[in-house]
Amino acid sequence: MKKIMLCCNAGMSTSLLVQKMQAEVANRGLDIEVEARPMNEAHDHLGECDMLLLGPQIGYTKGDFEKEATGRFPVEVINMVDYGRMNAAGIIDHCVSVMG
């Protein structure tokens, strides 16, 4: 099973998106788990994910998270339009293509 962690400032805005992404994953029958964590907790759980998605509002932290990831998993900033529209299908498509 692959695990995608979404991260934003406090975890509130991504929690809505996570629910939509979980439904999309279930509808497609994908073996992917999706969870949301606030930025201050995400650092402690990086060893548990296969991909880290950052909310656009904290995209400026991508470099810091990439240093922590040390190439173990991809770190991506969610496209602002997809994030704003809660486009779970598009975000899942992107994740699947990046994770292979």
The HSE-up count of residue 76 (CA atoms within 13 Å, CB side) is 21
Given 7, 8, 49, 95, which residue is catalytic? 8
Cβ atoms 75, 62 nearer than 8 A: yes
8 is catalytic: yes
- Residues labelled catalytic: 8
